[in-house]
Chains A and B, each alone.
Chain A
Amino acid sequence: MQLITGTVGETGGNNISDVALVQAILVKTTRPATATPPGGPFLTSYDGVCGDGTKAAIRDFQNHHVFVSADGRQSVPNPNATTGLVRPNDPTWAKLIEKVPTEFSNLRVLIGGKTVYVAATAAQLATKIGAANALTFTAAFRTRVNACINRMHTMHGIAIGVCRQGDRRNFQTQYDLLTSGRGVTNAGPGESNHNFGMAVDLGFEGLRWLQSDGTVTENETAWFHRLDPRQVLTAEALKFWEALRTAGTSAEVGAFRGPVGDRPHLQNWNDAGVSMAGRLANLLTRSGTMRWTATRGAYSSDLGMGGELYAVGSAAQIWNRQATVTVEMLTRARAGQPAAARAAQAPAGAPQRQAQPVPPQGAPNRPQQPARPVTAADVTAMRQELRRQFELADANWQNWTPN
């Protein structure tokens, strides 16, 4: 059981978390059958506020379990306990721990919060770790994911888990999320840390928390649809999300947060101020047969012709085979193509499958030779080829580098 940090009850400090914890214990603890009235809980609900009912319940509990003889038949003074007050580790606290049913012997509450929950068992933690280990991450980041799951359990007794699709996503999945996810992401295919096994989405599925009347919530979702049904990030839900972020970004775990509002998300590096598009362009160049650059999500490619770079659109456009390639662009690219490469290239617009060496700067080009006109079919072929370059990068995801 988590220890209260201060006093609860008459003249107590009555920190909200401490009060909630003591109240929850009283809610789950049954009065003796010999009491008047017999049976029933010492308290019927909890809310983190120490009102008259809570104080009376503490006194009632003490009268039955603290200020009594060993056989429970006579009232006796207990010099180490104070009427109506619970202190950390005092006789009243010890009796509260003793009398609460075993099932609730490890209740927890986050500091500053008032939602009391049942700590996860070691077996539940092992299940979450096992599930995470079956997912796709880079080896280095997997270590951090596991460290985060373990730390949340160590610090808070919560067994967090990886959300569905919270591990590596391929480019198609990222594209689907971008186009059908209704604004959930701005990252196109190849532009998310998730595409490279360096990000994780974690959640609280299965957290067993106590409703105000003490009923245990058994079917919590990863994103607190029970605790926060309107999904507006209530203060109580936010406490859990903050705890997750704090644990994940701690020195012991070493992960980083992503966008401020993306609370389930942790990643392997700090990408603040870094162009994800730029890093994708780098991977594209190293994975395929074209040279790439990118600025603010707009990609440029040499189209595999070794000459100047041409704006070909966003990652989503390229993935969707809608790169902004035109007949004029291909004509110009071909005209500017180094002669050796041009001679080897056929048909027009379709780059070679093998990587071509980029000519050194200033190298003289041979005079242009007549070539057949670029057609719409060439444009389509180039769009397909640009998409293929992305697929090569997708397959080469483990060689992506953050800088």
Chain B
Amino acid sequence: MLAADTINHINDHNCGLIERFSLGRRMLMMRIIPTFVVLAFVLTLSIAVAAQDAPRISGFQVNLFNSKTGSFSQDMLSAGAPEMGNVPSGEFASVSVFVAVQIEFGINASIPQKMQVRLVATENGSMPFAAKRAKAVDRVIMDSTSVLGPIDANGNTYVGFWLPKTGCRSISLKASLNGVKNANSKTVILPFACYE
């Protein structure tokens, strides 16, 4: 009996310790959890706000300039746009391109004062089907930075760039934002090709 009582006592004692520990932990958790919840909420909110406010390059629009008509083609990056083959001759008669970079701020976002858009256009050195085969060396044909203009009610703005001497070689366009931390960049390929 004694032994059994002793054991029970020990067990009770242990249970008491465990309960006290559990109680303490629960109280601690009750204090910590709300703190975490608040922190998480603040963090989520700040991320959401940051995401909403963070300007980003959201797209490109590319129009071929027709040397014979002075008009622009449709957006060559849009769905269903014609192929960009032999564009210096024929209906496009184009040897230059207008590129519009779209920047998205979000509605009611503040606009960083010193923000600029940088566009780097790299021409592919290779023209695989040309009669005159040249060594394939990529070439930066434009590296230009531009300030932003007015922004529309939806928080979008567009910056235009002019690319001369285009038409036969693929061009990689990379747009990025200067003056903004953690801003994204965006790259697109203009799939020009020429063949005899």
Interface positions of A (Cβ within 8 A of B):
163-166, 169, 173-177, 180-187, 192, 194, 201, 203, 205, 221-223, 225, 229-233, 258-259, 261-265
Contact = CB atoms under 8 A, between A and B. Distances in A.
A182 B131 CA distance: 10
A366 B168 CA distance: 56
Given A180-B95, A181-B89, A262-B196, A229 B189 contact: yes
B196 A187 contact: yes
Contact of B85 (A223, A229, A233): A223
B109 interface: no
Interface string B162-180: 0001011110000000000
A230 B194 CA distance: 14
B195 A163 contact: yes
Interface of B: 82-86, 88-90, 93, 95, 124, 126-134, 136, 165, 167-170, 189, 191, 193-196
B83 A184 contact: no
Contact of B126 (A173, A232, A264): A232
Instruction: Give the one of B124, B127, B167, B191 with max A CB within 10 A.
Output: B191
25 contacts: A164-B82, A164-B84, A164-B85, A165-B90, A173-B89, A173-B90, A180-B89, A181-B89, A182-B88, A182-B127, A182-B165, A182-B168, A183-B131, A184-B129, A184-B132, A184-B195, A221-B84, A222-B83, A225-B193, A229-B170, A231-B128, A262-B129, A262-B131, A264-B129, A265-B195
A223 B129 CA distance: 10
Given A184-B131, A184-B168, A225-B191, A176 B196 contact: no
Is chain A's binding surface mostly helix, strand, loop or mixed?
A: loop
Given A163-B195, A183-B127, A261 B133 contact: yes
Contact of B83 (A163, A169, A263): A163
Contact of A263 (B82, B86, B128, B165): B128
Instruction: Give the one of B83, B93, B136, B165 with max A CB within 10 A.
Output: B83
Nearest to B68: A176
Contacts of A230: 124, 126, 136, 170
A174 B132 contact: no
Contacts of A163: 83, 85-86, 195
A13 to B, nearest CB: 33
A280 B166 CA distance: 31
B101 to A, nearest CB: 21
Contacts of A264: 129, 195
B126 A184 contact: no
A163 B90 CA distance: 13
A264 B170 CA distance: 17
B140 to A, nearest CB: 15
A232 B193 contact: no
Nearest to A264: B195
Contact of A183 (B82, B84, B93, B134): B134
Nearest to B132: A183
